[in-house]
Amino acid sequence: MKKGLLLVLSGPSGVGKGTLCDRLRQLSPELVYSVSATTRAPRSGEVEGKNYFFTSRERFQSMIAEGELLEWAEYVGNYYGTPRRFVEETIAEGRDVILEIDVQGAMQVKERFPEAVFIFVLPPSLEELQNRIQSRGTETESAIRSRMQVAADEMRLMEHYDYAVVNDVIDLACARVQSIITAEHCKRERMLPAVKSWLNEV
């Protein structure tokens, strides 16, 4: 059975990564959304193994030390990370896993799991990105300027990605990601093991 793909989607804050992933999951329900591990307490209605893998701080630190995480970060006093085992077991079953993550986390995954497919999500323009952030109505002008500088720094790392997708119209952006998935599954190196096994039987 052909292995699945690990798809890593990232890009600047405000570019619409979450909306894009939600729409992809509606259009392609066979995609498996990566489940993160966290040390924070479960919230009402959250399910172990579906929303998060809930774990103790000590266990999480052990996972870091043992190389069991593809990436991790500490945020507001809690750890969050992507368990390697969940990803490897899922793609071994032939299913594709999608991981929505910030650029810094994606660079950690690139180091630890370079065979993943890295997709950078772009805004139609920097002006549009700023408009999206401003439209939230939750940021001061100073905070918006800071976010735009961070976004520019993150976009300079796009050279480390395999693909770039402009998130202008959501369904068009989804179609572009779906085309990437199809193309990756058709790559010669992914098909070669099966073909070699056929030829060995001749």
Length of the chain: 202
- Please indicate, yes or no, if residue 101 is contained in any of the structural domains: yes
User: What pLDDT, on a 0 to 100 scale, did the predictor assign at position 49?
Assistant: 86
- Please indicate, yes or no, if residue 142 is contained in any of the structural domains: yes
User: What pLDDT, on a 0 to 100 scale, did the predictor assign at position 71?
Assistant: 95
User: What pLDDT, on a 0 to 100 scale, did the predictor assign at position 87?
Assistant: 95
- The rounded distance, in Å, linking the Cα atoms of 82 and 71 is 6
Question: Domains in the chain: how many in total?
Answer: 1
- Please indicate, yes or no, if residue 72 is contained in any of the structural domains: no
pLDDT at 15 over 80: yes
Q: Over the stretch 92-142, which tens digit does the pLDDT of each residue have?
A: 999 999 999 999 999 999 999 999 999 999 999 988 888 888 887 777 888
Sequence letter at residue 16: G
- Please indicate, yes or no, if residue 78 is contained in any of the structural domains: no
- Please indicate, yes or no, if residue 49 is contained in any of the structural domains: no
pLDDT top residue among 2 and 92: 92
User: What pLDDT, on a 0 to 100 scale, did the predictor assign at position 2?
Assistant: 82
- Please indicate, yes or no, if residue 100 is contained in any of the structural domains: yes
Q: Over the stretch 53-71, which tens digit does the pLDDT of each residue have?
A: 999 999 999 999 999 999 9
- Please indicate, yes or no, if residue 117 is contained in any of the structural domains: yes
User: What pLDDT, on a 0 to 100 scale, did the predictor assign at position 65?
Assistant: 96
User: What pLDDT, on a 0 to 100 scale, did the predictor assign at position 14?
Assistant: 85
Please list, residue by residue across 168-179, b when 16 or more beta carbons sit within 10 angstroms of its beta carbon and e when fewer do.
eeeeebbebbee
Q: What is the CATH number of the domain that holds 187?
A: 3.40.50.300
- Please indicate, yes or no, if residue 12 is contained in any of the structural domains: yes
Long-range contacts of the stretch 63-68 (C-beta < 8 A, 24+) = 63/37, 67/112
Matching residue, tokens 């750890």 = 79
**Domain encompassing residue 171:** 6-34+95-200
User: What pLDDT, on a 0 to 100 scale, did the predictor assign at position 1?
Assistant: 62
User: What pLDDT, on a 0 to 100 scale, did the predictor assign at position 139?
Assistant: 75
User: Which tokens in the block code for residue 102?
Assistant: 């910030």
* Helix %, strand %, coil % of the chain (to 5): 50, 20, 30
Q: Over the stretch 137-195, which tens digit does the pLDDT of each residue have?
A: 777 888 888 889 988 999 999 999 999 999 999 999 999 999 999 999 999 988 888 88
Sequence letter at residue 163: Y
Matching residue, tokens 């043992």 = 66
